[in-house]
Amino acid sequence: LQVSQQLQQTNRLLETTNSSLRQQLHLTMTQLGKKEEDLQGSRREVAQSQEALQEKQRVCQTTQEQLQACQSEMDKTKEDLQSKEVQRMTLEQRLSSMHDTLKPLFTCPLGDSCCPMGWILNERSCFYISYTERSWGESQNYCQSLSSDLATFGDISYYLFTNQNSASKMLMQISPPGSFWINYSFAKRRQQAQGKRGTGYYSQSSSC
């Protein structure tokens, strides 16, 4: 009887122990499950961080390639600029040399007014006097061959007879003196009238 009682007590003690162990086991399994979920969440976060890092690395690589391309383009631009600068300096030297060469061929009494050699500067205009006798039309063609035109004055009838025009004064001071064709309507009429009289075209010097 005593042994049976002891066995019953032992059984109750074992059941109590088993119940406690089962509870502890359940609690431990629950905690392990939560930790496993946390670990999986951490793994997902690590995976996302790795993907973000890889994307940043790709962006960084692309940026580096673009930077290298920009650097190469900048170096090429610098080389082009240096080449252009050399060309500019060369052209400036040639221009200066040409200016020195052509300077004796121009008369420049004023800083901003120059005329080719043989031309006369008058009131910022250049005049060329040809002593070869030609008709009015031939004189006009001759002046045009010089990239010019027959000299044109304002009211020629007033200026020639009153000597108030500096251009007419210039013509009167020319040595040797003479008469010159100008670009005026009565000059054409005079030429045509001479032609109608059968004497041929009237010939005299030209003023461009």
- 3-class secondary-structure state, position 121: strand
Provide, rounded to the nearest whole percent, the portion of the chain with pLDDT above 70: 70
Number of domains comprising the chain: 1
Tell whether 204 is covered by a domain.
no
Tell whether 94 is covered by a domain.
no
Cβ(129)–Cβ(139) under 8 Å? no
Return the pLDDT at 128. Answer: 85
> How far apart (Å, rounded) are the C-alpha atoms in residues 141 and 206?
10
Return the pLDDT at 67. Answer: 93
183 token code pair: 């670009």
| pTM of the full structure | 0.39
Q: Report H helices in the chain.
A: 2-102, 136-145, 156-162, 166-172, 185-196
Tell whether 50 is covered by a domain.
no
pLDDT average, residue stretch 150-178: 60
Return the pLDDT at 10. Answer: 83
| Structural domain range at position 133 | 119-183
Tell whether 172 is covered by a domain.
yes
> How far apart (Å, rounded) are the C-alpha atoms in residues 153 and 129?
15
Q: 115 — alpha (psi -120 to 50), left (phi > 0) or beta? A: beta
| Tens digit of each residue's pLDDT (9 = 90 or more) over 26-82 | 998 999 989 989 999 899 999 999 999 999 999 999 999 999 999 999 999 999 999
| Tens digit of each residue's pLDDT (9 = 90 or more) over 6-34 | 888 888 888 888 888 888 899 989 999 89
Tell whether 188 is covered by a domain.
no
Tell whether 18 is covered by a domain.
no
